[in-house]
Structure 1
Amino acid sequence: MEKKLLGLLGSEDYIPSNVPELLSQLGMKPNQQQVLQSLLKSLEKQGKIVRTKGNRYIVAKEADLVPGVIQITRGGRGFVQPDEAGLGEISIPDSKTETAMHGDRVLVRLDVKPGQQEKSGSVVKVLERRRSQFVGTLQRSRQFLHVTPDDPRLPGAIYVPEPRDVGRKPNVGDKVVVEITHWDSRKTAPEGEIIEVLGSPDEEGVDMLSVLRHYELPLHFPKNVLHEANTIAKSRPDNQPSAQECAGRVDCRPHNVITIDPDDAKDFDDAICIQRHGDQWKLWVHIADVSHYVLPGSALDVEAKKRGNSTYLVDRVIPMLPEALSNELCSLKPNVDRLTKCVEFVLSKDGHVVSSKFYAAVIRSKRRFTYKEAYGIIQVPPTNETEQMLHDAHAMAQKIRQQRFKDGSLDMDFPENKIRLDEHGKVLRIERIENDESHQLIEEYMLLANEAVAGRLMGLNRPSVYRVHESPKEKKLSDFREEVLSHRVQCGNLTHRPEVQKLLHRLSTLPIGPALKIGFLRSMMRARYAVEPLGHYGLAKPKYTHFTSPIRRYADLVVHRSLFDKVELNAGVAKQIAEHISATEKNSADAERDSKEVKLYAYLKAQIASKKPQPYAALVTDVRNFGFFVDVPDLGLSGVVPLSAIRDDFYVFDQASRQITGRHTRRVIRLGDNVVVQIYKLDSLKKQVDFQLVVPKEEFPRSRKSERPERRERDRSEIKSAPPRKPGHGHKRAQQGKKRKR
């Protein structure tokens, strides 16, 4: 019926018709009107058709109307990913998002202009709300109570009545959960009601509870899911697979299999072994066989699919699977039998893949290494067989890595920060995690396995999900190129990959390089999941998927089933899964970022309160007429240094050279400069961080001491009259994070 209806509405001679007319044209009986209306309502909700004036129906596409999911930036702009593959992203100005909120399904009218390259449009209808409940701070104006959402992408205020039946009476300033009940127009504020009081933001634990509620992350597994996981675990008393389960699998237990993971990891889902075979090498990449225990349609599967992935917050893990599986039966712990899915490679001595095969296996890991331990071992001569294998694995991984970059892969790795908390949940220290050779060792073998599995799936033509990273838009590359050239850095045509690689290599040798690298990262598309094998731009791999982390990613579990278990996956179902897990991944990434931020903000607020803020090395990433933006690696934050916060001089902005210069000191600050800053102001609601430049005493000009008071007063007034900074402007990098997930 749906196909017949859409065929009618899409035919060339179709005239917009109402329900009775459609009933007649479709040859349906009068008593079938309710069935037709139900179908029309469903298609209208999906955005496939539109009801016009006079209750007449047309195909949405015919009126340049496109359904899709909107992502809204912190600056207010929207970007819609259309439902139809291949249409490309649609840009929505902040004035045309209407009442759409981040993650909603919307109907967009395309703004068609001659010669226009970038698709743009305006939201005409919200088809489906992704969510209606939000976390915010309760505030009171003269007449009304309202909640200011924590997420700056949401409306500025949600008006609420006095809360009732919420367990405890909230105070002004408390964190609460509010549900939007009414919002019809962008011209009016939304209305809602408080459904939960979390408590004062200064109470221990409220900060993380706010993150959990905001991103709708579950604190517990449903009872039926825990029961199923515990039943599976208890049926194997020694917490190992039975002899019957191991039968029929390739027995790799005699092999010198090892794992390498972070020091605090418990879910070990990958292991490796490498051996010399004549003038070639054999490599085994073993991945935890989660699909053996988590069957399609089971309670475990339904919950894992819903969660989409594990979420690693700063103080806890929200796992995709219960600990009985994720940290025990599936985890490739040492000295116990474990079931795996294996990709076995034959490699040439220079690291090229000669052949590969795929099978179910059983292993017994000989040793668990942390990255620190592995790094220490490969820096000194080996003392035993296992250490020798680690050296061999490292040498081969570096050859594969060199070949990967020769094939066009882009080096966009940035160090990451690990926040360590004390027993009260406060920041104890911040550790810098470098992508050293021990990380690269594992990374190269996982990339190799992901690529091989994708190629095998494509060869078999089985519906599945792929990890895709599309090429950047030409306009963004062109804009970035102009930015690079404005700093007198040589730059070719960035639509040609060799030129991108040349630029990235050039930037690695320049003081300005790290700042421009961040700019290039921002010009790239976000990696996602799709049913079409579109390849991975950043890795320069035409065939790529996710296979190596089924304990923490549902995508990998789907791939295991498609390739090894031969589970038939409908293409439509695969598309739904791909879209869902792309959304859950983004949600988890945002939650992980926010969990770090709330701890860092509390840490920095304490510094402001103590009046003894710490100095931090920072990199200038942009210069504007109101100040300059900095990236602070030791905090993993970005922020702005307002000109009004620089006390040693009055600074003048030169737009042509994109630098600011002290009028008296002649001190110059430009993109790529290394400076020292300290916290100046903090707005947790707007998620804005302002830093203050720390100027060494020897850099203060002596002439300033004898300068007339009226002159200093005039300089201050000039600073005050400088163009104000827009709320939220320029703070996106702190929220986006610097490393894209491959």
Structure 2
Amino acid sequence: MTPSFVEIIRRHIKRSDFRPATKSELARELGIASHDRAEFRRALRQMEQAGELVCGKRSRYAPPSKFEGGKQWLLGTIFFPANEKRRHGFFRPDTDELERPELRHLEGDLFVPGRYTATAMHGDRVAVKLAKKPAPRWHRHVKGRRERIDEDNETLEAQVVEVVERANSRIVGTFQQHGRYAHLLPDHRSLPSVFNLEGALLGARNGDKVIGEFVSWDSPHLPPKSRIVEVIGRPDAPGVDILTVIHRYGLPLSFPEAVVREAEKLPDSVEDGEEIARREDWRDREVFTIDPEDAKDFDDAIFVHEFHPDEGGGWELAVHIADVSHYVAPGSALDKEAKKRGNSVYLADRVLPMLPEKLSNGLCSLKPDVDRLTHAVVMRFDGEARQTSARFVSAVIRSRRRYTYEEAIARLNLSHREIDHLEPEEASLGHHLKRAWELARRLRRKRFEAGALDLDFPEVRAVLDEKGRAVDVKRSEYDESHQLIEEFMLAANEAVARETKNAQVPSIYRVHEDPDPDKLYEFSFQAGGYGYQTGDVTIRAELQKVLRAIRGKPEEHSLKIALLKSLKRAAYSAEPLGHYGLAKLNYTHFTSPIRRYADLVVHRVLRRLVTTRAGGEAGPTPSQGRLAEIAKHISETERVAADAEQETQRMKLIEYLIRVSGEDRGRAFDGVVYDVRPIGAFVELTDLLIKGLIRKDDLPNDRYRFDSARNRLVASYGKFQLAVGHRVKVRVARVDRVRGFVDFVLV
């Protein structure tokens, strides 16, 4: 087989005597014929975009590791802190770059001085060179960044030498025009503060929200250039705020035509026939679902049977999951789009589903009183809630009841005698729920005995009217109805992970690696600021003590968020690395294939494993390497979705706060101080969980000094002080809706 131009170039640049060369020089060195030059240039562009080649000074190409005669060039991503006006950035090397011998002492992100950021923007893939020199005094005090010290005690810095790939092809922001000059002011506070606009303005008016397309950035001394591609609308028009977030995060608003056509070809319902005949029939069993009130995509249903002592006691738990893999074939248009999206996104006013609604809210959703295909995990537990067996089956169900969490907790709070007075079918389901909770309660107790961390807390979500305006808030408590479903889903996910791991088949796992001890000590210091005594928090039992101590306290939410920030972020991996927070050696995501692509992949892996064991034939599943690529991609789409979801919720909660404060200007809110800085005290409202700042300038008349040792503001003449953990009453002073900032004043 004739090697491709990419392979030919790759072999050539790995030679020890290779030196940077122009396109023409490379073509001559490789003997590229004139009629092959176009394909050769395409190969160069492909390798440059992949980061294998860098085009540097005098248009000479070289791999980053060999550029300029062997200087240390690294490939990775640059990040800029928000609101820092590009005074500095941080460079995160690619994982494979860290394997280079000369970088064995490198740890974490590298500091990039502002004068060496060139024309790089937040999120860009860049090539940098390393410089060693003493750290400037102000660098030592940049919050949250430890110095990166080499063996000779000098500071290791990065300097951008090339932007390899732009991360921001689209920029969302505010249109501004002064005379004949037009500008785009980005919403993303980590991007340059202004872009010069060229080309047609598409009727944009001052203050409009617009989408710009990046054009170029030739010099760090001049603003980058952009052109308007879409005018979203006035910032106060209904729906524009959420649309702005959707566009800023690059989320899809519609499905490609090929995906829609493929979905439309699917049946509207499950019909009796060969497919149902080959499945285990659970339609006569009392299977039911528990979901949020506004949910439409019902992924999971449960069934619990308690065995009589004469039968050995214990329980059978069946977790039925929508069989999305039956309808979405690998490589189909539906599959490609689901993989691209990675997951559904649940914004404040809408859901951007991973699959078209015909599947997500229709054919796959486990609605009551209709036949649905499932992939089930059927587990047996002994009297101590130890799992003794698990089997994996293709099934068909007909859900008896759709409970909301509110309905489920209402049933769980009834006694068996009260349940007996309900209608017969409701009474039977009510006793079933109580039976299910008995198993879930034992599973939950065993999990925490094994070292799991209780990181759940109430959620506050804005309630919107038909125009998308925030008119109320809804607080969702993490009660027994939520805990019941969580424990059963955890049990199913763990059983599937154990099965694929023991079978040594390539799969995707949900992993949560052990935390950095230094980060845990930072959390310990924060907890101490609230007056909590902590032991060695690198020991799970000590962390659990802190979590038990803060349960139900006003500061519980703030401290749990602080602990989450101290832990590593859970992600997807092709390696079964275990889950620290859940204290599980084997864990995956299997229970939500309607809204997570990872689960769909795991369904296919498990089905192939079960089918081939039974002597049947099954289609191929991705290789280990391909699964690693998928895991990396969906970990990123998950992060993007989470950020967008949180931003829209905070946006609407602030909108609600503005409304109620405007209606009652003297309205006071309870809050707790969670951090203190020289500028003032940061407060989280106890009921709304909105964070804001009490500025030092807004405190009662006095002079205040910042006591960094005790993390407090102290009045110079009186006894007044504000410290972490203080309960306060505040009212709203100022709100910056664009930046999402809230200022409070003490009442």
Who is 2:669 aligned against?
A: 616
Who is 2:102 aligned against?
A: none
Who is 1:245 aligned against?
A: 275
Pair 1:321-2:321 in alignment: no
Take 2:700 and 2:636, find their aligned partners in 1: how far apart are those partners?
A: 45
How far residue 85 of structure 1 moved from its aligned partner, in angstroms, is 9.2
- Which of 395, 398, 401 is equivalent to 2:444? 401
Take 1:117 and 1:461, find their aligned partners in 2: how far apart are those partners?
A: 46
How far residue 510 of structure 1 moved from its aligned partner, in angstroms, is 7.0
Pair 1:47-2:51 in alignment: yes
Pair 1:415-2:423 in alignment: no
Report 1:179-258 matches (<5 A).
179-234=213-268, 239-258=269-288
How far residue 498 of structure 1 moved from its aligned partner, in angstroms, is 3.1
Who is 2:186 aligned against?
A: 149
Report 1:61-72 matches (<5 A).
63-70=71-78, 72=80
- Which of 103, 106, 109 is equivalent to 1:90? 109
How far residue 295 of structure 1 moved from its aligned partner, in angstroms, is 0.9
Asked if the contact 2:173–2:211 (Cα under 8 Å) also holds between the matched residues in 1, the reply is yes
Take 1:690 and 1:433, find their aligned partners in 2: how far apart are those partners?
A: 26
SS in structure 2 of the partner of residue 634 of structure 1: coil
Take 1:63 and 1:494, find their aligned partners in 2: how far apart are those partners?
A: 42
Who is 2:150 aligned against?
A: 114
Superposed CA offset, 1:451-503 (max 9, x none): 22122222233323222222333332343344445666433333333333333
The TM-score, its normalising length taken from structure 2, stands at 0.84
Superposed CA offset, 1:487-546 (max 9, x none): 664333333333333333344487766544332222222222222222222212222211
Asked if the contact 1:233–1:324 (Cα under 8 Å) also holds between the matched residues in 2, the reply is no
Who is 2:206 aligned against?
A: 172
* One-letter amino acid matched to 1:689: V
Who is 2:685 aligned against?
A: 632
Q: What stretches of structure 1 of length at least 5 have no aligned partner?
A: 695-742
Pair 1:498-2:561 in alignment: no
Pair 1:60-2:94 in alignment: no
How far residue 652 of structure 1 moved from its aligned partner, in angstroms, is 3.6
Are the structure 2 counterparts of residues 539 and 125 from structure 1 closer, same or farther at C-alpha, using a change threshold of 3 Å?
farther
Take 1:94 and 1:399, find their aligned partners in 2: how far apart are those partners?
A: 54
Superposed CA offset, 1:241-286 (max 9, x none): 4322212111122221110001111110001111123312111111
- Bigger shift: residues 28-37 or 496-505: 28-37
SS in structure 1 of the partner of residue 206 of structure 2: coil
How far residue 445 of structure 1 moved from its aligned partner, in angstroms, is 1.0
How far residue 399 of structure 1 moved from its aligned partner, in angstroms, is 1.2
Take 1:598 and 1:160, find their aligned partners in 2: how far apart are those partners?
A: 28
Who is 2:613 aligned against?
A: none
Pair 1:296-2:333 in alignment: no
- Which of 66, 77, 82 is equivalent to 1:74? 82
Report 1:385-400 matches (<5 A).
385-400=428-443
SS in structure 2 of the partner of residue 442 of structure 1: helix
The TM-score, its normalising length taken from structure 1, stands at 0.85
Report 1:257-656 matches (<5 A).
257-277=287-307, 278-382=312-416, 383=419, 384-485=427-528, 489-508=532-551, 514-565=557-608, 567-606=620-659, 612=665, 614-647=667-700, 649-656=702-709
Pair 1:136-2:148 in alignment: no
Who is 1:717 aligned against?
A: none
The CA RMSD measured in Å over matched residues stands at 3.1
* One-letter amino acid matched to 1:16: R
- Bigger shift: residues 542-551 or 52-61: 52-61
How far residue 121 of structure 1 moved from its aligned partner, in angstroms, is 3.9
Asked if the contact 2:494–2:586 (Cα under 8 Å) also holds between the matched residues in 1, the reply is yes
How far residue 307 of structure 1 moved from its aligned partner, in angstroms, is 1.8
Are the structure 2 counterparts of residues 33 and 147 from structure 1 closer, same or farther at C-alpha, using a change threshold of 3 Å?
closer
Who is 2:615 aligned against?
A: none
Are the structure 2 counterparts of residues 513 and 213 from structure 1 closer, same or farther at C-alpha, using a change threshold of 3 Å?
closer
SS in structure 1 of the partner of residue 174 of structure 2: strand
Superposed CA offset, 1:93-124 (max 9, x none): 47355444444333344567425899974544
Take 1:162 and 1:172, find their aligned partners in 2: how far apart are those partners?
A: 16
Take 1:420 and 1:117, find their aligned partners in 2: how far apart are those partners?
A: 54
Pair 1:689-2:692 in alignment: no
Take 1:487 and 1:522, find their aligned partners in 2: how far apart are those partners?
A: 17
Take 2:443 and 2:323, find their aligned partners in 1: how far apart are those partners?
A: 26
- Bigger shift: residues 434-443 or 419-428: 419-428
Are the structure 2 counterparts of residues 679 and 526 from structure 1 closer, same or farther at C-alpha, using a change threshold of 3 Å?
same
Superposed CA offset, 1:651-689 (max 9, x none): 443223222234555233211112122221122333322
Asked if the contact 1:16–1:58 (Cα under 8 Å) also holds between the matched residues in 2, the reply is no
Take 1:402 and 1:272, find their aligned partners in 2: how far apart are those partners?
A: 20
Aligned pair count? Answer: 686
- Bigger shift: residues 594-603 or 267-276: 594-603
How far residue 619 of structure 1 moved from its aligned partner, in angstroms, is 1.4
Take 1:41 and 1:638, find their aligned partners in 2: how far apart are those partners?
A: 46
How far residue 345 of structure 1 moved from its aligned partner, in angstroms, is 0.8
Q: What stretches of structure 2 of length at least 5 have no aligned partner?
A: 100-106, 133-148, 420-426, 609-617
Take 2:322 and 2:739, find their aligned partners in 1: how far apart are those partners?
A: 42
How far residue 366 of structure 1 moved from its aligned partner, in angstroms, is 1.3
Take 2:559 and 2:647, find their aligned partners in 1: how far apart are those partners?
A: 25
* One-letter amino acid matched to 1:403: K
Are the structure 2 counterparts of residues 487 and 223 from structure 1 closer, same or farther at C-alpha, using a change threshold of 3 Å?
closer
Who is 2:197 aligned against?
A: 160
